[in-house]
Amino acid sequence: MFSKKITITFICLLIIVSVVLSMVSIGRTAPATPIAKPTAKATCISEEGKEFIRGFENTILYPYDDTGRKPRRLTEWNKNAAIGVGHLIQKSEWDTYKNGITREEADQLFEADLNRFSQQIAPLIKVDLTQQQYDAIISFSYNIGAGAFKNSTALKYINDPEYTSDKYKSLADAWKAFNKQRDVVLEGLNKRRAAELAVYYNGDYSGRP
């Protein structure tokens, strides 16, 4: 009887040791899944960023003059002709858009414009951007144009935090300088610049109309 108890106890110990060794082996050969680290680099505008731009640009399904406070429908092309979500109509495009577009076509045109701006802006940025910074920059350049952004003091501040300018003392000052149309300060542009800076610095998208 005594020898049977010893045998049973020995077997139990062997089982326990075997289980422990298996667990140790698994722990060595199958490391825990690493925790994904958030990236500080953004290369595509977010859905929140898109809605932010839509709030300022609106969606207009007929050709209009983009210089007035209220969109004026156009019956012939001019250099300020626009349609959809702020898409500037090139003269070669007039026949395509002169009779208007559907909302679905406006959405497609908006996405195409955002892709184009992203491709134009990407080579200009020399630093990593957070999502909120990227969204703000796309809204800014979408409004002032990629060419104006390329030559702006704002871009210099973005690429070099140590940059200094006699004319503009900060990125915010350089950014807010784009508040005029035909040399006239527009309150709507002041509001947009302030809202974009709130996105850039604070991730606050609430400033859109």
DSSP string, 84-134: ETTEEPPGGGHHHHTT---HHHHHHHHHHHHHHHHHHHGGG--S---HHHH
86 closest CA partner among 115, 104, 110: 110
Domain ranges of the chain: 47-58+103-202
φ, ψ dihedrals at 61, nearest 5°: -95, 10
Q: What is the mean pLDDT of the chain?
A: 84
Residue 189's pLDDT band (cuts 50, 70, 90): very high
Q: Report pTM.
A: 0.78
pLDDT tens digits, 140-184:
999 999 999 999 999 999 999 899 999 999 999 999 999 998 889
Tally of CB atoms within 10 A around 58: 12
Tally of CB atoms within 10 A around 39: 10
Q: Which fold has domain 47-58+103-202?
A: Lysozyme (1.10.530)
